[in-house]
Structure formats: C-alpha cells, structure tokens
Chains A and B, each alone.
Chain A
Amino acid sequence: MRALRYLHFVLWCALVAIFVWIGAPIVASAIRENRLGPLETNRSIDAYLGALTGIEHGSEKLPDVFRRLGKDGSLLIFVRDENAQSEFLGMMIGYVSWPREVQIIKVTSPTVGKELADVKPSSVAGVVFCSADPPAWLQHRVSLGSGVVLVPLTEAASP
C-alpha cells in the first residue's frame, strides 16, 4: 500500500513537472509578445486594417469614405475565395461600413469580371475589391489602401 502511494506521488510529480517544463516557455513567450500600446478606442480594427492595407486610423477613414457614397444602396465586396487575408479584409470592410447593407462575394479568379454583370447599379452604392482586381473597363477607381479598391458605382456609371 505504501509502495502504491509512493508510485502515485512520483507519477504525479513527474507529470506535473513535465507539464510545466513544456508549458512554461510557451506561456512566457506569449507574455513577452507585443508591447503595451496606447489604449485607443478602435485599437483592434485599426491594427488589422493597418496591417492588411496600410491604412492608418481605418476605423475613421473608411466609414467617412463610405458615407460619401450617399445614404442608399448597398456595398458589394469582392474577395478571393480560399484566401484568408482577402476574406478577412472583406469582413473588416463589412464591419466598418455599418449600417450600410453589404454583400460579400467570393471570386475564384484574380480579376473580377462576369460577377459584375449581375449587379444592378440602382441598388448598389459602390463596389469594393479586396485583394482582387477590378475589370479593366471599370473606371473611377479609388485606392483605399494596399489591395483595397473602391469603385463608387454611381460615379462609374456617369460619363
């Protein structure tokens, strides 16, 4: 019985020691990671938009741009299928464009083409391309940042 107790004690001491031995360096490195930055209001949105597109204070700039598209009409967002960065950027655009209705469309080719044929300009205020290229014939492109292009549809349609 005493031997069993010793075995129990030794087993758990060893297991706990190995657990801490493996876990502690990983946790320590996570604790050291990053610096304490300013506690800004839109810190997470700005950090992601900055990293993905190079836009500074994207949480303020992008909604400003979308506001200029007028009150009505939705925003079409084209993202590359199976491209996590493009899809994430599309979602971020969808996030900051609230309360405007958005539609996120995944495209398989690098250049958007036939997907635009179904677009009804009357109900769409603008089209955003996230890591996807607009077709060559589409005019009035506004580069919002690296890999993000906005085409205000009403302007694009006008001569």
Chain B
Amino acid sequence: MIVIGLIAALFTIFIAGFGITMLVFARGNQVNLIECACLSWLLGCGAVSLLLWMCGMVCSGLLLQSIVGVACLLLAIIGWRAKRSANSKIDLPRPVNILEWILGSLILIEIAVLVFVSFKHTLGWDGLLNWEIKARYAFLNDGVIPGSYYSSAGRGFSHPEYPLGVPFTELWLYLWMGEPNQSWMKIIFPFFFAAGAPLLALFVIRLSGRRSIGLLIAALLLFVPSISASPGGVVVGYVDIPLGVYYLAALGYLMLWSKTGDHRYIRMFAACSALLPWIKSEGIILWLVLAFLGFGLSLVRRRVVPFLISIVPGCALILCWRVYLKMVHLWPHSDFAHPSLRVLRDNSDRFSGIFGILFAELREPTHWSIFWLLAVIALIYLIASRKLERIALASAILAPVLLYSLTYVFSMWPSYAAHMTSSVPRLLLHVMPAGWLAIGLALSQTKREAQML
C-alpha cells in the first residue's frame, strides 16, 4: 500500500506540473518531452506544495488531500486541452550518433545510481531537523503545520521561518503513503537531479547549438563530489540541490528569452523564478539577482513590460510568506543581525577572513574537485565574449557568491568563521548548476545556429 500511495503522490505531482508546462508551452508547434518531464517535476512540486499550504489554511485531513488532488487533475486536464487546441506535438529527441548515445546512457545511469544511493543514506542533520520535521508535524496534524510550531521558542532550532516548498512535497508523499516514511520520501531528491541534468544539457544545446557538449556537461554534473559525497548533497535530503536546479531553470529561460524573444520562455522564467523563495530563504537573494539581471537584459532588448510582469509571481510569493509568518506569530530567531551601517562598520574586520574561508572552500577538492577552476576559466571566456547574455550568465554566478559571502558580516554566531565553514559549501551548490551552464557555453566556442530539439 505504501508503494501504491507513493506512486499516486508522484503521479499527481507530475500531472500538475505537466498541466502548467503545457499551459506555457502549448502554443509552440513542438513540445520537447524531456524538457516537459523535467519541468513537470519542478513545477509540480511547486504547485502541490503551494496548494497544500494555501488550502491548509481553510481545511485539513482527507478534504485537504482531496482538494489538492482534484486541483492537480484539473491542471493536467486544462494543460492537455490547451495542447490539443494549439495542435502542438510532443516530440522525443533521440541521440543521433554513438557519442550522444553513450552520453545519454551515462546520464540515465547516473540518475539510477543516485536513486539507489539515496535509499542507502539517512537524512542529514538539516534534512531531518530543518526540512523533514515540518512535513512530519504537518502530517501528524492532518496536513497542516500547527500554529504553535511557528511560535515555539524551543523548536527555533528547526527554523520555522524556512519556506515549505520541499517539506510540503514530502508531506504530499506522506499523505498518500499514510505514514511519514522517511525512507521512501527520499526519492524526491534524486528526482531534482534527474530534472536538473537534462535541463542543463538542453540550455547548453539551445544557447550554443552543440548537442554533444550539452550532453557531456550534463554527464559531468555528478562528478562534483558535493552532489553525492558531502553534507548538502542529494542523498541526505537537503534542499540546496533543488534550489540550484530551480535557479538554473529560471536563469536558462531568462537567457533564452533574451536571445530569442519567445514569450513562452519568459512565462517559464516567471514560474521557475517565483519558486526560488519558496524552496529556501536564500532563494530571495537568487530571485533578486535574476530580477536585477533580467531588468538589465529587458532594457537593452526593449522588452521591459513583459519582464516586469514576469517578476510579479515571485514578488507576490515573497510578500505572502512574510505576511503569513506575521500572522502565525513566528518566534523571532535568526542567525544574522539586521543589516545596518553600524554592524557593517563594527564587523568590517571580517572581510579578509570571509574571503579567506571562501577561497579555501572553492579550492577544496573533496567537495568540488576542480569544478571552481573550470568555472572561473569559463567566466573569463564569457566575459571576453562581450555578448550580453553571456555576461549576464557570468554575473548570475558571481553575484550570489559575493552576496552570500557578505551576509556573514552580519552573522550573530559566536564565531562567524564557524558559521561560514558550516554553511558556505551548501550555499555554493545553489550556483553550481549555473556554473556548469557557463562551462558548457565556454566549451562550445564555435558559433553555430542554435538547433531546437
């Protein structure tokens, strides 16, 4: 019964996401099946978690599960009808030569290995005490996190202020399985990798026109040790890889929109970027970076209005979550002081230490191999290319790393160095997939017509 429930939960997530993807992409002649599957997972998780949160304010238990389930079904039906009325076809791109077959197969094997490895490991510290705890408490309370959880000082350690994107995806699985099964629930994390790797390949292919390089980059992704071998990776149930995948998706579609002007891409950017603050609090920083870069791109391309409309969902979500936390009387708990000039002046001696720790982390081979060396060389290529989108991509990698580092100036931990050492490896994961996109574009220097898959 547990496995049947699990399959039903995953199926409803996929069909909800499929519906939204179709609503965005149906107007094109062809819809790429792989792209559609990846986005179905990402947007499905967003839709289900948001529905659970919003509907949970007015109902609970079986009624809540039924309403969200029916909403998923409706989204799928609306999306399918949109596809049919637009007469668009779903197309499955196939490898065209032996190299593409090898690389494509390697990606599939990597995904299968990650699914297997995920079941071998338990949840990590944050995976359990920051994220899964919310899903379990909600499950034990008929699908709704009790108000007392947010206002409880004693459970401040679990960061009640963190958003519910991933915990409520876990909750959806719990509701269908009928128990808070911490083993089966872990299947969602390799799915984020499985959505991210093909999307990465797709963006490299569309932006460079080189299919083999796109597939190579996606196949190399797993060789970053942090994904599987250190705290924060896919196998321990942290949300940093999922956040990185959403960031990659939002950034990729922003670049494609800037390059082609296709309205479908800006709509997909709107959907993916809006979910950034819903996955982790740091998602607000990533969202702001994209909003800033996107505004710059839209000004140059003279498409400001559609871009401004595209950031409305993200703004609304950030605002709604803030209002909600006020309403539930969140116990004030933060690892950071309120940013002010006085704190900045008082802690200005931290700068050298912060960048020292950052560079030490970037050079750490057990976390990154030489990924960051590749990324730095790729950034030099991108900046030297003097192309607008490529410079924007370079900025989208550099800006979050700098902003994340600067936040430690305001750290309230007794030792800011300990705070940074414990968290910066995970924060770097947020931009790691975007770093691979940069590497892919640097690798494919030859100009070719971008070929649509």
Contact = CB atoms under 8 A, between A and B. Distances in A.
A45 B155 CA distance: 16
Interface in B298-324: none
Contact of B120 (A34, A77, A99): A34
B129 A35 contact: no
Nearest to B133: A95
B370 A99 contact: no
A27 B223 contact: yes
Contact of A44 (B113, B128, B366): B128
A18 B220 CA distance: 12
A159 interface: no
Contacts of B373: 15
Per DSSP, chain A at the interface is: helix
Interface in B326-345: none
A19 B121 contact: no
Contacts of B402: none
Interface in B121-165: 121-123, 125, 127-129, 132-133, 136-137, 140, 146, 148, 152-155, 157-158
Interface residues of B, number: 51
Interface stretch (A65-73, A101-109, A112-120, A137-145): A101-109
Interface string B354-386: 000000000001100111011001000000000
B122 A47 contact: yes
B154 A24 contact: no
Quick one: which of A24, A47, A94 has the most chain B CB within 10 A?
Answer: A94
B184 A39 contact: yes
B224 interface: yes
A92 B371 CA distance: 35
A40 B228 CA distance: 22
Quick one: which of B154, B155, B369 has the most chain A CB within 10 A?
Answer: B154
A33 B116 CA distance: 12
Quick one: which of A37, A44, A47, A48 has the most chain B CB within 10 A?
Answer: A44
Contacts of B374: 15-16, 19
A60 to B, nearest CB: 13
Question: How many interface residues does chain A have, given as a range?
Answer: 35 or more
Contacts of B423: none
A137 B452 CA distance: 77
A45 B182 contact: yes
B140 A98 contact: yes
A43 interface: yes
25 contacts: A11-B377, A18-B370, A19-B223, A19-B370, A22-B365, A22-B369, A23-B223, A27-B222, A31-B113, A31-B117, A33-B121, A36-B119, A40-B181, A41-B183, A42-B180, A43-B182, A44-B123, A45-B128, A88-B125, A91-B157, A94-B157, A95-B129, A98-B137, A98-B140, A99-B137
Q: Which 5 A-B pairs have the closest CB atoms?
A: A30-B229, A23-B369, A39-B183, A102-B154, A23-B223
